[in-house]
Amino acid sequence: MLDLLPHFSDEGTLARVIPGFRPRPQQLEMAQAIARAIHGNRLLVAEAGTGTGKTFAYLVPALLSGGKVIVSTGTKTLQDQLFHRDLPAVRKALKVPVSVALLKGRQNYACHYHIARAQLEGRFLNREDAAHIRTIARWLLHTQTGDKSKCAGVPEDSTVWLAATSTRDNCLGQECPNAKECFVMAARRAAQEADVVVVNHHLFFADVMLRDEGMGELLPACNTVIFDEAHQLPETASMFFGDSVSTGQMLDLARDTRHEVLASARDFLPLQEATRTLEKAAKDLRLAIPGENARLSFDQVADRAGFGSALDGVEAELEHFVQLAESQAERSEGLEKCWQRATEIHERLMNWRRLNQPDSIRWVEVFSQSATLNTTPLRVAKIFRKQVEGNAKSWIFASATLAVGKSFGHYCGELGLDALDPAPETGIWGSPFEYGEQAMLYAPDNMPDPNSPAYLDAVLEAAVPVIRAAQGRTFVLCTSLRAMKTLHEGLEARFHRLALDFPLLIQGQASRSELLERFRQLGNAVLVASQSFWEGVDVPGDALSVVIIDKLPFSPPDDPVLKARVSWLEKQGRNPFMEYQLPRAVISMKQGAGRLIRSERDRGVLMVCDPRMITKPYGRRVWQSLPPMRRTRVEDEVCRFLGTLPPPAVLAD
């Protein structure tokens, strides 16, 4: 076995190369456990508290293992951090000659073919997009990777990237005239040849499901798979082991086919006309589904007047479209690809309509301009376990939030790891931070029931004195968009009435990275946000001193997937609340709480407004899973604690 102490000690290899590195016993112990798992081709489920340094704990034994390693992360941001910062630092410290590669989904790479086509068509929604496509075309001449995050001057969320990148549906593959210079294929070749490959969970499951041609070669070739932010895996697996078809895919198909017809089959008018009728049928289907930004069960939409006829209409148009596209497919690679896409979309729609499986659920997600028809497995345990059993390698699952209390039963059960033989090894390495000194857990007294109409007003009344004592410097994390908007409006009114000059930010007014940068620079801001800020957000230092959580983060009871899983568990004679809903809420709660203390010097207050954490028997499982902060229900104690914090460093504009 490897002796890792020389790498993690005061005078070790990491300390000599990495500025600010300090030894942590928890980090060394975790690294040793991972090294044993890799050496023995075993499975390890590891929870590492905030500040443990789990990244170095898995990178050191991984790079020293001598085998091919896949590191899968939860987000592209963490991917970039690993590849551009952490991996080079550890490789330099260890002096190991390992090759590394970064592999993202194809939507992250500029596409020569689609950029040329977009310039030729010149159909843009605004002047900004037209300027952006010219910037991308110039950048294309000298970029080595085609990674859109490196294209200065064009934001990653710009709508023009939809025209400048490919999708699995519209990629021409080896038939593309630009195949030899394709950035996606170059990235895949580099990944297949590298010793260490950094992907994200979505791409990992795309590889598993063979949804991208040529991508299924990564997993069989590796010796070790490491999942960072592994708590996200059950949800990601549910998405990939299910299926979906959307009106957006139909509209894209119609648009792309119209372009190919004009280029290669201008004389065949029936297909041109079919693109327009398909567009109308897809839009009619969206209009037949009520609401927007909502998740609806099949039963909720099936009985709605007009839905059945709209579904019949789009199915008939797709069937007719497939026949017409097939008749012209030999005239160009692009038309052949459109025919194949139409066939696949039609088959997915038919499968969704015919589904009658007790272990899957049909449901619909609606947005302002589109609708998606989804099929989701009620459990992914058997499917995921099959992947693990079918690949003799070491599997490492690491996150700051996997256990409920000290138990990994819920997590292992969701992924089917509890049925493996031998059973997975598990370990919890607590945070090195002194939570008893650095942090306080505040549950305000006399809060009404969370379902009361007066609840959000009570949250505001309890929150303002704490925000004032902290001189801003607060995250308000909400469990719904409705609560987020209500609390933002209420804080705005109260700040005005009380003449509190704290900058007030809200999720959605800019990208997440831009909002975080503004929050850090302002130094005394209050940010009101929803789900996307509960995890993966790092604000160390004085800019963040309070995290306020409005409610325990239970999934909405009317969510169609949740309702189906609850019903399935009830039919098994099990307790869905204790076995499924509560453990998930605890893991989410730990993620939100993890935003507060990010370094040894941080101090702050976690304020949980929901009285159920105190009044309900299950509340004990919630607060006992949180870091060991001092606890209080007294507002004055919180204000005194916050009064000892250093004043905010407010930066001038």
pLDDT confidence of residue 565: 93
The answer to whether the beta carbons of residues 466 and 639 sit under 8 Å apart is yes
pLDDT at 157 over 80: no
Q: Which residues pair with 433 in a beta bridge?
A: none
615 domain residue, yes or no = yes
Supply the CATH number for residue 466's domain. 3.40.50.300
Do 449 and 588 sit in the same domain of this protein? yes
More confident call, 653 vs 46:
46
* Residue range 47-60: mean pLDDT, rounded: 95
Confidence of residue 293 (pLDDT cuts 50, 70, 90): confident
Do 163 and 288 sit in the same domain of this protein? no
Domain count, the chain: 4
pLDDT at 617 over 90: yes
Name the domain boundary from 429, 444, 469.
429
* Side-chain half-sphere exposure of 472, counting CA atoms within 13 A: 25
Helices (H), 452-511: 455-469, 481-498
Mention every residue, 6+ apart, whose C-beta is less than 8 A from residue 314: 247, 250, 278, 281, 282, 284, 285, 349
Do 170 and 267 sit in the same domain of this protein? no
pLDDT at 273 over 50: yes
Helix (H) or strand (E) holding 394: strand 394-399
pLDDT at 566 over 90: yes
pLDDT confidence of residue 355: 80
Do 473 and 569 sit in the same domain of this protein? yes
Do 512 and 630 sit in the same domain of this protein? yes
Do 369 and 249 sit in the same domain of this protein? yes
Confidence of residue 125 (pLDDT cuts 50, 70, 90): low
The mean predicted confidence, pLDDT, of the chain is 91
* Residue range 346-353: mean pLDDT, rounded: 95
Q: Is 58 helix (H, G, I), strand (E, B) or coil?
A: helix
pLDDT confidence of residue 135: 93
3 domain residue, yes or no = no
Residue ranges making up the domain that contains 628: 436-643
* Residue range 109-124: mean pLDDT, rounded: 86
pLDDT confidence of residue 649: 62
Dist CA 602 CA 645 (whole Å): 9
**CA proximity to 102, closest of 149, 62, 135, 64:** 149
565 domain residue, yes or no = yes
Which of 211-225, 231-245, 263-277 has the weakest average pLDDT? 211-225
Kindly report, residue by residue over 459-468, the tens digit of the pLDDT. 999 999 999 9
Confidence of residue 119 (pLDDT cuts 50, 70, 90): confident
Name the domain boundary from 156, 182, 208.
182
Do 474 and 546 sit in the same domain of this protein? yes
Kindly report, residue by residue over 354-374, the tens digit of the pLDDT. 887 788 999 999 998 999 999
pLDDT at 634 over 90: yes
* Residue range 628-635: mean pLDDT, rounded: 95
Cβ atoms within 10 Å, residue 535:
21
Do 416 and 368 sit in the same domain of this protein? no
Supply the CATH number for residue 365's domain. 1.10.275
Dist CA 101 CA 69 (whole Å): 11
Dist CA 164 CA 450 (whole Å): 46
pLDDT at 215 over 50: no
Dist CA 245 CA 87 (whole Å): 38
176 domain residue, yes or no = yes
Name the domain boundary from 182, 204, 228.
182
Confidence of residue 76 (pLDDT cuts 50, 70, 90): confident
12 domain residue, yes or no = no
pLDDT at 1 over 80: no
Do 343 and 390 sit in the same domain of this protein? no
Do 154 and 275 sit in the same domain of this protein? no
**CA proximity to 217, closest of 205, 208, 226:** 208
* Residue range 84-109: mean pLDDT, rounded: 94
649 domain residue, yes or no = no
* Residue range 601-609: mean pLDDT, rounded: 95
Residue 390, Cβ density class (10 Å: 0-12 exposed, 13-18 middle, ≥19 buried): exposed
Do 593 and 611 sit in the same domain of this protein? yes
* Residue range 44-73: mean pLDDT, rounded: 95
Cβ atoms within 10 Å, residue 262:
11
pLDDT confidence of residue 339: 96
636 domain residue, yes or no = yes
Kindly report, residue by residue over 567-579, the tens digit of the pLDDT. 999 999 999 999 9
Confidence of residue 185 (pLDDT cuts 50, 70, 90): very high
118 domain residue, yes or no = yes
Residues of the chain above pLDDT 70, percent: 97
Do 609 and 571 sit in the same domain of this protein? yes
Confidence of residue 183 (pLDDT cuts 50, 70, 90): very high
Kindly report, residue by residue over 417-449, the tens digit of the pLDDT. 999 988 999 999 999 999 999 999 999 999 999
Dist CA 407 CA 289 (whole Å): 42
pLDDT at 175 over 90: no
Cβ atoms within 10 Å, residue 178:
14
Rounded to the nearest 5 degrees, what angle is found at the Cα of 10, between the Cα atoms of 14 and 598?
70
pLDDT confidence of residue 213: 45
pLDDT confidence of residue 590: 95
